[in-house]
Amino acid sequence: MTYDPGIPKPGNDIAEDQPKILVNFQQLNTQFGVNHGAFDDGTVPGKHKHVTLVELSQAEIDALEPKNDEIILYGAEDSAGNTEIYSKQHQQTATQFTKAGIPFIGMKPQASANFGPGAGPFPRAAVVSSSFNVGSVSETADGQYTVTYTNDIVDATGAGTNNYYWSIQGFDDQNNPVIGSPETDSVYGDVVKKGSIKVDFRNQNGTLVSSLTRGQLIIWSVQ
């Protein structure tokens, strides 16, 4: 049974059109209720339960012409072959808004940790105050830490990579500069790995900082 916009028809007997009118109301309620609280919903009528965007064809995308002061969100296939959300504003080229489950900005953070020294003999577990995608932080020497990721750092194709970007800040309570970086005086591939990174914190003389209180780390990769 489908919606019939031609109901009721002039000249038809009401008894003939009445069931078709009922079908029309039922179809309106059913189809509106796919993404919305349906007309007969007792709690959220009209509000969106969710918004499902079907993938538009290129011809449909080309026909999108938002007017001034309008924005259109739509679904389209991206370069990876996935249906993603795009936005288009008046007289602007479209922008990809999502990619593989997160907003798309070209880069994405993949791990982070706010941590401090632990207790006991080296290598000792660090105290992690907050983190994302970090399974553990261990202190291998004064001012030296190994941060192990829960999941490997990956490139845009999903393959593990050690070609990523880092930001490292250090803090101690002494009057020193504290410069955080991947562990120096080492081979890059031994220090920066897809599954972990070794970092150290040194002062102006290149000496490892023994009084480090906190380290802050973020790892980024191409999205």
Judged by CB, which is closer to other proteins: 130, or 190? 130
Among the listed ranges 131-139, 141-149, 156-164, 181-189, the one in contact with other proteins (CB under 8 A) is: 131-139
SS3 state at 161:
coil
Choosing from 12, 31, 82, 210, the residue that interacts with other proteins (CB under 8 A) is 82
- Closest alpha carbon to 153 in 138, 132, 180, 168: 132
| Contact assessment for residue 29 and residue 23, using Cβ atoms and an 8 Å cutoff | no
DSSP state of 155: -
Here's the x/- map for other proteins, 104-123, by CB under 8 A: it reads as -x--xxx-xxx-x-------
Choosing from 52, 58, 79, 157, the residue that interacts with other proteins (CB under 8 A) is 52
Residues 178-197 that bind other proteins (CB under 8 A): 178-179
SS3 state at 34:
helix
| Residue-wise burial string across 173-185, b where 16 or more C-beta atoms lie within 10 A, e elsewhere | eeebebbbeebee
Q: Is 3 in the site for other proteins (CB under 8 A)?
A: no
* Backbone torsions φ then ψ of 102, nearest 5 degrees: -140, 165
| Contact assessment for residue 6 and residue 21, using Cβ atoms and an 8 Å cutoff | no
Judged by CB, which is closer to other proteins: 25, or 122? 25
Copy the structure tokens of residue 56: 């538009």
Among the listed ranges 9-17, 101-109, 118-126, 140-148, the one in contact with other proteins (CB under 8 A) is: 101-109
Contacts of 81 (CB under 8 A, 6+ apart): none
DSSP state of 91: T
Q: Closest distance between other proteins and the C-beta of residue 171, in Å?
A: 5
Binding site for other proteins (CB under 8 A): 21, 25, 28, 32, 36-41, 43-55, 67, 70, 75, 77, 82-85, 91, 98, 100-103, 105, 108-110, 112-114, 116, 129-133, 167, 169-179, 203-204, 213-214, 216-218
